[in-house]
Amino acid sequence: MSGPTSIAELDSRISSCRACPRLVDWREQVAREKRASFRDQTYWGRAVPGFGPADARLLVVGLAPAAHGANRTGRMFTGDRSGDVLYAAMHAVGLANQPTATHIGDGLALHGTRITAPVHCAPPDNKPTPDERDRCRTWLETELHLLAPTIRAVVVLGGFGWQALLPILGTSGWLVPRPRPKFGHGAHVVLTPTTALEPLHVFGCYHVSQQNTFTGRLTPAMVEEVLSRAGESAGII
């Protein structure tokens, strides 16, 4: 089977992926058992595709869907506290039309920005294995290939995404320095294209997990500052 030739086809292929038995079992178990507060809802329970326009100039890369967030709603960072922080910050800097994300069909739209992850299924304890990350790699590679003509900046949420993304960027048309740049909040590296592409601005941001936001390690202002810089680099804001 040939690879997806459009973002719409990619999203459809991702949603039917069953490549990782442990993740398939877990996401479906969660969808059956549910959280008590969501017991009347039908969970998505599948791999979660990216969200945002096919001609995005900015890409936000997370880790993986949350068990009772995107695994429930079917949309990245939707229906959980991490998404509450992320979308409020995106709205504050002009990358989203509203500050909340509760379910598909809630009216949320992103401006020139797409959100994705290196792992598309909810993992137990929010910890995908290296093998699961590597099996999912083809989806992120394809997504970057399709976005390459328009993408100008990337915001990576957390060290896992940073480590997963940089090798892929190195095979997708940009030169990644050696040794590879280290992840850190506020990290910023500009990658030189190796083909007829534009330079790519890559920014690091602590992940918008409850562990980071509840402890104050990451504040809304910190997220907004990184997103604002990335949006400006991408020519969106």
In tens digits, what is the pLDDT along the chain, a chain of 237 residues? 688 999 999 999 999 999 999 999 999 999 999 999 999 999 999 999 999 999 999 999 999 999 999 999 999 999 999 999 999 999 999 999 999 999 999 999 999 999 999 999 999 999 999 999 999 999 999 999 999 999 999 999 999 999 999 999 999 999 999 999 999 999 999 999 998 899 999 999 999 999 999 999 999 999 999 999 999 999 999
pLDDT for the residue numbered 2: 81
Rounded Cα–Cα distance for residues 99 and 80 (Å): 13
pLDDT of residue 154: 98
Answer for the pair 158, 223: CB distance below 8 angstroms, yes or no.
no
115 falls within a domain: yes
pTM: 0.97
- Determine, yes or no, domain membership for 1: no
Minimal CA–CA distance to 70: which of 95, 89, 87?
87
Domain range for 145: 7-234
The CATH number covering residue 125 comes to 3.40.470.10
* Residue 175, phi then psi, degrees to nearest 5: -90, 120
Total count of domains within the chain: 1
Q: Using DSSP, how many helices (H) and how many strands (E) does the chain show? A: 8, 6
Determine, yes or no, domain membership for 211: yes
Distance CA 214, CA 56 (A): 31
pLDDT at 216: 97
pLDDT at 1: 60
- Would you say residue 2 lies in a domain? no
Is residue 175 assigned to a domain?
A: yes
Q: Which residues of 42-69 are buried (b: 16+ CB within 10 A; e: fewer)?
A: ebbbbbbbbbbeeebbbbbbbbbbbbbb
- Residue 166 included in any domain: yes
